[in-house]
Amino acid sequence: MRTVVTGGAGFLGSYLCERLVERGDEVICLDNLLTGSPGNVAHLLERPGFRLVDCDVTGFLHVAGPVDLVLHLASAASPADYLAYPIETLKVGSIGTLHALGLAREKDARFVLASTSEVYGDPLEHPQHEDYWGNVNPVGPRSVYDEAKRFAESLTTAYGVDTAIVRIFNTYGPRMRPHDGRAIPTFIRQALDGDPITVTGDGTQTRSICYVDDTVTGILALADSDFAGPVNIGNPAELTMTDLARLVRELTGSASPVTYIGRPVDDPHRRCPDTSLAAERLGWRPEVPATAGLRRTIRWFAEEREPLAG
C-alpha cells in the first residue's frame, strides 16, 4: 500500500503514520506544521518508506506515483488552535478537503475523511448516533471548525470516489501539546505543576474520552473496509469534567485543588458516541479504560517535562 496522510505530523496523524509504517505501507506525510511538529514523526524519518513533506493542502497538491489510500486529517483540532486560525481552519476543511479528494480521484485511491463529533454540535440526542443531524450554531465561534467539517462531510459524500467518513470523538494520549487547550493535557500539566486544575463551567458537562491507540485502530479498520460511513469512533464511557479532573489529580498524586472558570461559548453539555455501528460494520470496540490510558499519558507528560525541570 502507498498511503498519503494529510496532517500526519499532528497528534493523531503521527500515530497513523507509525502504524502504517509498522505494517509495511509506504507513507507520504503531508503537513504544513501549523499545529503539528516534525518531532511527532522524527522517529519515523529513518524508516524506509516514510517521507515527511512540508505541504499546505489548501495550495497546490501533487504526489508523484501511485497512491492507494488518502487519509485526510489536516486541520487544526483543539478549540484554542481553531480559534487562533479560524480562516485556515475553514480553508483546510473546504479547499483542503477538495484537493485531497481530487488527489484520491486522480490516483483511484480510497479516501477517508477525519471528521468529528463536533458535527453534532451541542447535541439534543444522547448518545449520538450517526443518524443524528446535530445542533450547531452556524455563526458561533466554534462554527469555523464544526461547519468546516460538516462541509467536508458533504463534499466527501458528493464527490463520487471511494470515500469514507469517520466521526472521531475526544481522543487523548502521549504527544498532545501541554498548552493545546484541550482538557486532558491542561489538567495533566496543571496537576504535575501543582497548579489549580481549572474545570470550565460547573463541571457537570460530560465528555467521552478515547485512548489514541483505540482511535487509530478504528480509523484503520474503516480505511481497510469498503464501508462509507459516517461512523463514530470513540469511547462511550462518559465522564463529567469534574470526575475527569479528580481522576487526573488522583493518578498524578497531585495535591492541586480543582477550581472552576468560565465556560466557553457553545461548549457542548453532553458528548457520548453510540458505537454500535462501528462494532457491527468494523468489528471495532475501544479496549483501553480511562485509568490505563491516562496513566500512560501522564507518564509521557512527566517524562517530557523532566529535561525542562532539570
Ligand X SMILES: NC(=O)c1ccc[n+]([C@@H]2O[C@H](COP(=O)([O-])OP(=O)(O)OC[C@H]3O[C@@H](n4cnc5c(N)ncnc54)[C@H](O)[C@@H]3O)[C@@H](O)[C@H]2O)c1
| Cβ atoms of residues 180 and 81 within 8 Å | yes
Nearer to ligand X, 43 or 259 (CB): 43
Pick from 20, 21, 70, 74 the residue near ligand X by CB under 6 A. Answer: 74
Task: Check: CB of residue 295 under 8 Å from CB of residue 251.
Answer: yes
DSSP string spanning 115-130?
EEGGGGBS-SSSSBPT
Reported residue count of the chain is 310
Q: Is 73 in the site for ligand X (CB under 6 A)?
A: yes
Output the smallest distance, CB 178 to ligand X, in A. Answer: 13
Residues 169-208: x where in contact with ligand X by CB under 6 A, - otherwise, as a string: -xx-------------------------------------
Please state the closest distance from residue 12 (CB atom) to ligand X, in A. 3
What is the spatial distance between Cα 258 and Cα 274, in angstroms, rounded to a whole number? 30
Under the binding rule (CB under 6 A), the answer on residue 223 touching ligand X is: no
Q: Which is nearer to ligand X, 109 or 254 (CB)?
A: 109
Query: How far is the CA of 176 from the CAs of 36, 117, 295, in angstroms?
Result: 10, 19, 14
Question: Would you count residue 20 as binding ligand X (CB under 6 A)?
Answer: no
Active site residue 132: no
Report d(CA 142, CA 86) in Å as an integer.
Answer: 9
- Residue 172 has φ and ψ, to the nearest 5°, of -140, 165
| Binding range to ligand X, per CB under 6 A, among 10-18, 20-28, 185-193, 296-304 | 10-18
CA–CA separation, 50 vs 44, rounded Å? 6
Q: How many angstroms separate the CA atoms of 302 and 189, rounded?
A: 9
Catalytic residue among 120, 145, 172, 211: 145
Considering the complex, state which of residue 222 and residue 254 has its C-beta at the smaller distance from ligand X. Answer: 222
Here's the x/- map for ligand X, 104-143, by CB under 6 A: it reads as: ----------x-x---------------------------
Determine if 34 is a binding residue for ligand X (CB under 6 A).
Answer: yes
Q: Residue 98 or residue 256: which is nearer to ligand X going by CB?
A: 98
- φ and ψ at residue 84, rounded to 5 degrees: -75, -30
Interaction of residue 92 with ligand X, rule CB under 6 A: yes
| C-alpha 6: how far from chain center | 13
Q: Which of 4, 12, 100, 278 binds ligand X (CB under 6 A)?
A: 12
245 binds ligand X (CB under 6 A): no
The rounded distance, in Å, linking the Cα atoms of 26 and 68 is 10
Residues 5, 11, 248, 294: which binds ligand X (CB under 6 A)? 11
Q: Is 293 a binder of ligand X (CB under 6 A)?
A: no
| Interaction between residue 220 and ligand X (CB under 6 A) | no
Q: Where along the sequence are the contacts to ligand X (CB under 6 A)?
A: 6-7, 9-13, 30-36, 55-58, 73-77, 81, 92, 96, 114, 116, 168, 170-171
- What are the catalytic residues? 145
